[in-house]
Each structure stands twice: as C-alpha cells, then as structure tokens.
Chain A
Amino acid sequence: MTSVELQQETTRRSRAWKNRLFLGVMLFSMFVAFGTLAVLLVDTIVTGWPAISWQILSSLPSSVPGEAGARPAILATLYLGLIVLVLSVPIGVLTAIYLEEYANRSRWWNKLIEVNIQNLAAVPSIVYGILGLAFIVRGIGVGRVVFAGGLILTLVVLPTVVVASREAIRSVPDSIRQGAFALGATKWQVVWRQVLPAAIPGMATGSILALSRAVGETAPLLMVGAVVYVPFNPTLFGQYTALPVQIYNWTKQPDAEFQTLAAAGAIVLLVIVLSMNAVAIFLRNRYRRQW
C-alpha cells in the first residue's frame, strides 16, 4: 500500500521535473537566439551612433572619415529594391498562380518545376552572382550597372517569392473556388476575382520579406561589380555601389573612424530592412482572415 503511494509520488515528481527541464531548455534556446541578436544590435548602435548624422545620408564617400557619407550607396540600394520589387513580384506571383491553379501535377515537367523551385530557394546567393556575371554582365553585355545588380537580386529572391505566394494561394479554401465556379464564373474570373484578392495579404508579406533579404545581400553584388568608390548619384545604367557593399568596404579601412562609419551604415541598413519588415507584419495583421 505504502509502496504504491511512494511510487506514484516519485513518478509525479519526475514528471514535474521533466516539465520544468523542458521549459528551461526552451527558454535557453530563446535566449541564445534573441540574446545574440540583442548584443549585436546594441554593439552596432553604440559604435555607430556618433556617426549618425545628416552627413552619412547626404554626403558622398570620401577618404576623409569626417566628410564621408553613403548617399550614392543608399540611393543605389533603394533603386535595387525597387527593381527587385517591380520584377520579382509579378513574375513570382504569376508563376505561383500557374503552379497552384493551372498546372496539372501529374505531368512530369510540372513536377520538375516544383522540385527545382524548392532547390533554387536554397542555392547560395554567390552562385547567382557568378551566374549573373557570366550571363547578364558579360553574356548579354549589360555591364556593371544598377540594372544588372537588380536582375541578379531578382533571381536570388524569386524562388522565395514564388514559394510564399504559393502558400498564400493554397491557404485560400477550396470552398471559395467551388462557390465561384458554381455561379458560372470562368477559371480566370475565379482566380482573378476570388483567389487572388484573398491571397494578397500573404503574398505581400512574403514578397516584402524576400525584398528585405535582397536589400541586405552583399555577395552577389560584389560578384557582379558593385564598385567600391562611387562619388556620384547612381543611375539605372550607371556604376553603383550598394549600402551593404559600402559597409563592407568601410570595415576594411585601417582608420578607426571608418569603423564607426561602418556601424552607422549598418544602422541605416537595419532601419531600412526593419521598416520593410514592419510593413509586412502590419499587412499580415491587418488582413488576417478567419475562414
């Protein structure tokens, strides 16, 4: 009798202990993830804060740290973002619509496309850089210009946009499509007037997150010739540098004041990327649907 009770007590204690242990493991994981991020953020802000001024936004780069700014780099980064947005969203969304709504999944070529898109999303961006150098910059002779950089970044994020858009389309319940078909709507009308509007919040969120990734990319741009020193405002078909490339360049300078500038540049980049993410989160919350 007593032994039974004792055993139960032991089990109970062991179960409670496991419960606490698991909670601890989760908290620790969370601390590793967010603690690192917090340390990084604080360190960057503390280092870069003295150099945050109008100058970094408005001045041209210079070999004198006190006069150097990142205006061409910031502008080029915004241009790149715009090019990526204009190219990757329509192409990505249309691809996603085809794959989800029109493609016959039993056909081998559609299966091949499916597998490839998944794989493309995992290809390191430097590989796209090499591809871009060979085919876009040299192959079709676009040259080392902003537009070429935008094309490469579009390729980098396109698979992500496609995958996110497909998720959004798939989350529209089939009953909506059936209801629209039952009223005599054509396939195009069902997709365009029901599925797409219902999927837009998800697509927008995915696309913006992909875009903010593009804006932070450095490797492929180094590959396709973002120039390091650009003392003039960029044009679509002119030489350019991008903000991440500019930051990278400043960190390589021996002068300590450039380190401060690099940190300040990082802050500017962070502000750009985080405000894009904020827009994505806002859209997601604003248009969240309950079916």
Chain B
Amino acid sequence: METPQIDSARIAEVARGALSRGDIERRERVFTVSDLGVSYNGKPALEDVSLDVFRNTVTAFIGPSGCGKSTFIRCFNRMNDLIPGADVAGTVLYHGADLYGRNVDPVEIRRRIGMVFQKPNPFPKSIYDNIAFGPRVLGMKGDLDERVEGALRQAALWDEVKDRLKDGALGLSGGQQQRLCIARALAVEPDVILMDEPASALDPISTTRIEDLMHELKREYTIVIVTHNMQQAARVADMTAFFSVVVAEDGSARRGVLVEYDTTTKIFTTPSDKRTEDYVTGRFG
C-alpha cells in the first residue's frame, strides 16, 4: 500500500502566514464549546463536540457532506432555534457567557455574531438598503451613509457599486452579491463572522476575492468558516476542525463527530488521526 502523498503545493499554501499553535492559543477564547450535541426531532445529528475558537483567527470546519459542520456553525448564533424540532445540548460559552443561558436573547447574539450564508441572499431591495437594513432595525446611531460606505469598503465592494447604490441588489453578480452579504454583516459591527460555505456557489475569481477578504477581516474580527473545499481551508484558516460521519452499526442513523481539531498546518501536513489523513489526502470524500 502506497504512502499517502501530501501535495507540496498545499504545504506551501498552508505555510503562508500560518500562526503557530502557541501564538494562537495565547489569544483570547471567543467561543468555548463543551460536549455540544444537536438533534433534530430526537435524532442526533452531531455529538460530543468540544473546541475553542480564538480571537482574530480564521477557524475552518471541514468534512464530508452530512458530518454536521453546517449544523455546528449555526449553534454559534443560535440559528438552529429557528428550525422546529432542533435541540442543542451541551454548552457554548461566548467570552465566558453561556450562549444558551436562560436570560440570553438570541436576537442580541445575532447582532454580535454575524452570518454569511452558502447561497448569496441579498434582500430584494437596493444595494444601499441591504446594508442599511441591519443598522436600521437595531436603531444604531450615527450617519447611515458613512456606515454603508464603510461596510462596503471593508468588503472590497465600494468601488464597484458606489455609483449605483440605489440599484437593486439582485442585479449584482453572484460574487458581488456575496460580498454585499459580507458588507451587510459588517455594517452592524459584529464581533464574529460565521461563514457557511461562502464561496461554494461562486466562480474561482470571486472565490479568491472572498478568501483575500477573510485575510483582511481577521485583523478586526474573528471568523469561523465551513467549507467543502480543503484547499480553501488550507489557504485561509489558522485552525481547522475535521468532522466525520459515524454510521450506527445497523446502518440506520448517521451522526457527525469531531475527529480532530488543530492548527491548519498540522491538520494538512501531519494529522494525528487516520480519518483526517485519508480525507485531506483525497482518499475519501
């Protein structure tokens, strides 16, 4: 049996600007997840996940379809609350406070922990109104025009849309729409940005732009990203968590588990679990 080949180009990608484990772990813990499990209508979808997310880093969740990585990311802003029958067990601490505590308002959480979805979902309104929606509903003070411009600049979209802010957002290209959605999330001054496969519906050039953006944004924000694309995780993430699917012995139930969580360099070069190695070397999934 041949030894797994780890692509040297990938190592080079990983090495680019990679932080050491020590560097990362000295940072503040934004999220501390312990023994988290999610079930839908009593059927477990994800079990026993414990990990920390560090400030001003990009943390990637990778794994095959059905491994629960999208379910997991939606625990961080309590979007699972919106799904009837979804139940979250275990704890998620956000800067030390329990996200699922009794007196916690999910609405307040979501303004601090923004989210960008897999498919660009601009509102059927003008570009300006898309960005202004968040500040408006939250009653944020200050000049709205400035806020809109600032958010669009941060999302590297300002130059492309500054002359047509009143035009409908649905007329933008897919990549522009996704950057608009990122700008929309930034406009409410979040602390964390969750991205659920943000580039999976985009062409390679748009994907590159989104990835460059993540490198920029992590200076100010903490970013958590779910991705199908391992190269993307290798390019953008400081920390990577690999999830896998466990099938019950009788084949009836499938649930996601966290296999390995470490620095991206470690995950892609010297993973400690055989399943991670098989996945990142392309033998599986």
Shortest distance from the beta carbon of B21 to any chain A beta carbon, whole Å: 31
B98-123 interface with A by 8 A CB criterion? 107-112, 114-115, 117, 119, 121-123
Q: Which residues of B contact A189 (CB under 8 A)?
A: 137
Shortest distance from the beta carbon of B155 to any chain A beta carbon, whole Å: 14
- Assuming A184-B137, A185-B137, A193-B137, is B111 touching A179 (CB within 8 A)? no
Of the candidates A106, A178, A186, the one whose C-beta lies within 8 Å of that of B117 is A178
Q: Are B79 and A183 in contact (CB under 8 A)?
A: no
Q: Are A184 and B107 in contact (CB under 8 A)?
A: yes
Of the candidates B107, B109, B122, B184, the one whose C-beta lies within 8 Å of that of A186 is B107
Shortest distance from the beta carbon of A168 to any chain B beta carbon, whole Å: 13
Of the candidates B77, B108, B170, the one whose C-beta lies within 8 Å of that of A182 is B77
Q: Are B124 and A185 in contact (CB under 8 A)?
A: no
**With an 8 A cutoff between CB atoms, is B279 at the interface?**
no
Q: Tell me the number of A-to-B contacts counted with CB atoms below 8 Å.
A: 72
Bound together, the chains give a CA A173 to CA B82 distance in angstroms of 15
Bound together, the chains give a CA A289 to CA B170 distance in angstroms of 10
B17-66 interface with A by 8 A CB criterion? none
**With an 8 A cutoff between CB atoms, is B134 at the interface?**
yes
Bound together, the chains give a CA A291 to CA B185 distance in angstroms of 20
**With an 8 A cutoff between CB atoms, is B138 at the interface?**
yes
**With an 8 A cutoff between CB atoms, is A181 at the interface?**
yes
Q: Are A290 and B170 in contact (CB under 8 A)?
A: yes
Q: Are B188 and A178 in contact (CB under 8 A)?
A: no
**With an 8 A cutoff between CB atoms, is A198 at the interface?**
yes
Shortest distance from the beta carbon of B156 to any chain A beta carbon, whole Å: 20
Bound together, the chains give a CA A178 to CA B133 distance in angstroms of 13
Q: Which residues of A contact B115 (CB under 8 A)?
A: 182
**With an 8 A cutoff between CB atoms, is A117 at the interface?**
no
Q: Are A194 and B123 in contact (CB under 8 A)?
A: yes
Q: Are A184 and B134 in contact (CB under 8 A)?
A: yes
**With an 8 A cutoff between CB atoms, is B181 at the interface?**
yes
A157-197 interface with B by 8 A CB criterion? 173, 175-186, 189, 193-194, 197
Bound together, the chains give a CA A193 to CA B117 distance in angstroms of 20
- Assuming A179-B117, A179-B181, is B123 touching A184 (CB within 8 A)? no
Bound together, the chains give a CA A181 to CA B79 distance in angstroms of 8
Of the candidates B79, B111, B112, B123, the one whose C-beta lies within 8 Å of that of A176 is B123
Shortest distance from the beta carbon of B194 to any chain A beta carbon, whole Å: 8
Interface footprint category on A: 20 to 34
Main secondary structure of the interface of A (DSSP, over half): helix
- Assuming A176-B123, A178-B121, is B133 touching A183 (CB within 8 A)? yes
Q: Which residues of A contact B125 (CB under 8 A)?
A: 197
Shortest distance from the beta carbon of A179 to any chain B beta carbon, whole Å: 4
Bound together, the chains give a CA A181 to CA B113 distance in angstroms of 11
Q: Are A176 and B121 in contact (CB under 8 A)?
A: yes
Q: Which residues of B contact A289 (CB under 8 A)?
A: 124, 170
A39-92 interface with B by 8 A CB criterion? none
Q: Which residues of B contact A178 (CB under 8 A)?
A: 79, 82, 117, 121
Q: Are B117 and A176 in contact (CB under 8 A)?
A: no
Q: Are A176 and B133 in contact (CB under 8 A)?
A: no
Closest to A194 in B: B123
Q: Which residues of A contact B84 (CB under 8 A)?
A: 104, 106
Q: Which residues of B contact A181 (CB under 8 A)?
A: 79, 82, 110
Q: Are B117 and A185 in contact (CB under 8 A)?
A: no
Q: Which residues of B contact A176 (CB under 8 A)?
A: 121, 123-124
Q: Which residues of A contact B185 (CB under 8 A)?
A: 182-183
Q: Which residues of B contact A185 (CB under 8 A)?
A: 107, 133-134, 137
Q: Are A179 and B107 in contact (CB under 8 A)?
A: no
Q: Which residues of A contact B170 (CB under 8 A)?
A: 289-291
Q: Which residues of A contact B77 (CB under 8 A)?
A: 182
Q: Are A180 and B79 in contact (CB under 8 A)?
A: no
Shortest distance from the beta carbon of A141 to any chain B beta carbon, whole Å: 46
A-B contact pairs, 13 of them (CB 8 A): A104-B84, A177-B82, A178-B79, A179-B181, A180-B133, A181-B110, A182-B115, A183-B134, A184-B109, A184-B111, A184-B188, A186-B107, A189-B137
Given contacts A176-B124, A178-B121, A183-B133, 19 further A-B contacts (CB under 8 A): A106-B84, A173-B121, A175-B117, A175-B119, A176-B121, A178-B82, A179-B117, A179-B121, A179-B123, A180-B123, A182-B77, A182-B117, A183-B110, A184-B112, A185-B107, A185-B137, A197-B125, A198-B124, A291-B170
